[in-house]
Amino acid sequence: MKICWFKDSKIGHEKQVQAILDNLALTQDLIIEEINVSNPVWLELFLYLLKIKPKQDLVPDIIIGAGSATTIPMLRYKTGNKTKVISVMKPQFFESKFDLIVAPRHDYKVVPDNVFTYIGSIAKVNINLDLENIGLIIVGGVNKHFNFDDDYLISQIDFIVSLFPDTNWAVFNSRRTPKTFNERIKRNTAIGKFIDVHKNFEPLDDYLSKAKLKFVTPDSVNMVFESLSSSGETYLFDMYSSKENKITRLIDEVKSNKYAGFLEEKYLENSEIKTISLNKPNPLHETFREVEKVAYEIEKRFKK
């Protein structure tokens, strides 16, 4: 199977496509050509409307990509009915032109025939029966869905560290994490390792695959579902949402179905004193395998 993969240099997008291709490679012989998108969207649209096709080295069976920057370049690259174009994530333009769109379920109220939906985001499946005594803390930062409160988040971290004092704790931040938080977490002697994305980068996958406990801020949706797609228990930090939207509803669904455990602030009974409690995930819930469902759907529709 010949695959043309359009890439937009965004790690979150490329990891989702990579996970799909890795699963397809388990049952298919793949020849993959990677194309990095460089033109601005307006130029790609102009060329598309003029029906100007790019030069091709091969006619692929499948064209695939994720992110708005890849939408029109993928459609421009298609030369005939033999080639199927797949958008990973809901495209901003020309939805009906795609042979298949694989997108989060919360993006569609009514699902068209050329759309296949999954829960959350696509992530590599990591099954490990020999987990280590590692606790991961994965922190996002300033965002439009949840209020990032340094004081409240630090208090929650202090709480979970006190609950599991013998666990080896490692904190991963992101490019959105405020400097004030970074400075405070560096001074926390209970944290064994702080992996600062700006200074001492280490692959998060190496930790996700072996950590017994994982605590994630809910603004980091991709990280939430990468964690849920790995062995071990996933928990969500408590963050106040400024308004209801599809992301906050998705996180509420994860919590209500107990896919993940979560921290929660409550008043003590008959008191005005607030305390933090830990709600456990459903122990019978299986590791998420949404990427396997997506790969199977692609095979079912387009297998030669």
CA distance 162 to 275: 14
Q: What letter would DSSP give residue 113? A: T
pTM of the model: 0.87
Dist. CA 85–CA 108, nearest whole Å:
19
Cα–Cα–Cα angle for 178, 181, 182, rounded to 5 degrees: 90
Residue partners of 168: CB distance under 8 A and separation at least 6 = 132, 133, 134, 135, 192, 193
CA nearest neighbour of 213 among 298, 134, 121: 134
Residue 98 sits in the same domain as residue 181: no
Are 238 and 209 contained in the same domain? yes
Per-residue confidence (pLDDT) for residue 294, from 0 to 100:
95
Alpha helices in 167-267 (DSSP H): 179-186, 204-208, 221-228, 246-256
The answer to the question of residue 227 being in a domain is yes
Does residue 259 form part of some domain? yes
Same domain, 26 and 149: no
Residue 104: phi and psi, rounded to 5, are -60, 145
Residues 37, 118: one domain? yes
Residues 111 and 144 both lie in one domain: no
Whether residue 284 lies inside any domain: the answer is no
The amino acid present at 233, given as its one-letter code, is E
- The CATH number of residue 149's host domain is 3.40.50.1950
Q: Could you tell me if 103 and 152 lie in one domain?
A: no
SS3 content of the chain, % helix, strand, coil (to 5): 30, 25, 45
Are 154 and 47 found together in one domain?
A: no
Q: Tell whether 257 is covered by a domain.
A: yes
Whether residues 101 and 182 share a domain: the answer is: no
Predicted local confidence at residue 304, as pLDDT: 61
- Looking at residue 150, what is its pLDDT? 92
Beta strands in the chain (DSSP E): 2-7, 31-36, 62-66, 84-88, 100-104, 115-118, 132-138, 168-172, 193-195, 211-216, 233-236, 261-267, 274-279
Rounded distance between C-alpha atoms, residue 274 and residue 267, angstroms: 4
Domains in the chain, number: 2
Please give the pLDDT value at position 217.
Answer: 96
* Same domain membership, residue 209 and residue 109: no
Query: Residue 286: inside a domain, yes or no?
Result: no
Q: Note whether residue 9 is domain-resident.
A: yes
Domain containing residue 205: 132-279
Is residue 17 in a domain? yes
Closest CA to 140 of 228, 221, 255: 221
Residue 250: CA atoms inside 13 Å, Cβ hemisphere, count? 21
- Is residue 159 domain-shared with residue 70, that is, in the same domain? no
In this structure, is residue 202 part of a structural domain? yes
Please calculate the CA angle 249-255-256 and round it to the nearest 5 degrees: 85
User: In this structure, are 102 and 77 located in the same domain?
Assistant: yes
Asked if residues 240 and 148 have their Cβ atoms less than 8 Å apart, the reply is no
Residue 275's DSSP bridge partners are: 266
Q: Are the CB atoms for 217 and 137 separated by under 8 Å? A: no
Print pLDDT tens along the chain (304 aa). Answer: 899 999 999 988 999 999 999 999 999 899 999 999 988 988 988 888 888 888 777 789 999 999 999 999 999 998 888 899 999 999 988 999 999 999 999 899 899 999 999 999 999 999 988 999 999 999 999 899 999 999 999 999 999 999 999 999 999 999 999 999 999 998 988 899 999 888 877 788 889 989 999 999 999 999 999 999 999 999 999 999 878 899 999 999 999 999 999 999 887 776 777 788 999 999 888 899 999 999 999 999 987 6
Tell me, yes or no, whether 268 and 138 share the same domain: yes
Q: Extract the tokens encoding 75.
A: 């459609």
